Amino acid sequence: MTAQPKLVGFACRWCSYAGADLAGTSRLEYPASVHLIRVPCSGRVDPTFVIRAFQRGADGVLVAGCHPGDCHYASGNLFARRRFALVKRFLEYLGLEPERFRLEWISAAEGRRFAEVIREMTADLERLGPNRKLREDP
């Protein structure tokens, strides 16, 4: 078996982390590539976290939060949206393939969607191969 891509996911505890839990209770199978890091809000995710993940060899990074308008803290995901629109362009400028970074809105009721996003991203990452661009040599 070929090595699975490594996907680091930042998930807000109110929506997307709960959505991932729902995928679990619904027994929706998806690739084991993803490792979630629980954060209070997508607005907590510092671009440094994303860039560090790529530097340490993550093949893809997902930031997932509540749908706009549904943020538990009212506006956190809107900050995330603005911030990661820029970060995404910056990563592409650095030469990273756009599929390697995604910002997604996944609600606590969208277990199916969570599984779907992980499947899609994993398929993209398998196609792209390992991230060599930003990875620092160990």
Partner 1 sequence: MPRIGAFICHCGLNITATVDVERVAARARAIPGVVHAETYKYFCSQPGQEKIAEAIRSSRLDGVVVAACSPSMHEATFREAAALAGLNPYLVQIANLREQCSWVHSHRETATVKAAALVAAMVAKVRRDQPLEPIRLSVYPRALVIGGGVAGMQAAWDIAEAGHSVLVVEREPNLGGRMAQLSETFPTLDCASCILTPRTAEVARHPRIELLTWSEVREVSGYVGNFSVKIARRPAFVDWDRCIGCMLCQEKCPAPAPIAFEHGMGMGKAIGVSFPQAVPNRPVIRREYCRRFQGRKCQVCAKVCPVGAVDFEQAESFREEKVGAIVVATGFDVMPAAQFGEYGYGEYPDVIDSLAFERLNSSSGPTGGVIRRPSDGKIPREVVFIQCAGSRDPDRGKPYCSKICCMYTAKHAFLYRQKVPDGQAYVFYMDIRAGGKGYEEFVQRTVDQAGAMYLRGRVARVYPEDGRLLVEGVDTLSGTTVEVAADLVVLATAVLPREGARDLARTLKIAVDEHGFYSEAHPKLRPVETMTRGIFLAGAAQAPRDVAETVAQASAAAAKALGLLTRGELAADPLVAQVDEARCSGCLVCRHVCPYQAIEPRDVAARKVASVNPGLCQGCGACAAICRSGAMGLHGFSGKQVLAEVEAICL
Nearer CB in complex with partner 1: 18/103: 18
Alpha helices in 9-136 (DSSP H): 16-25, 47-55, 76-93, 111-128
53-86 CB burial, b ≥16 within 10 A, e <16: bbeebbbbbbbbbbeeeebeeeebbebbbebbee
Q: Which residues bind partner 1 (CB under 8 A)?
A: 1, 4, 6, 8, 10, 14, 18, 20-21, 23-25, 27-32, 35-41, 43-46, 48-49, 52-53, 56-58, 70, 72-76, 79, 83, 115
CB 97 within 8 A of CB 128: yes
Q: How far is the CB of 81 from partner 1 (least distance, A)?
A: 13
Nearer CB in complex with partner 1: 3/95: 3
Nearer CB in complex with partner 1: 20/91: 20
Amino acid (1-letter code) at residue 61:
V
Q: How far is the CB of 137 from partner 1 (least distance, A)?
A: 14
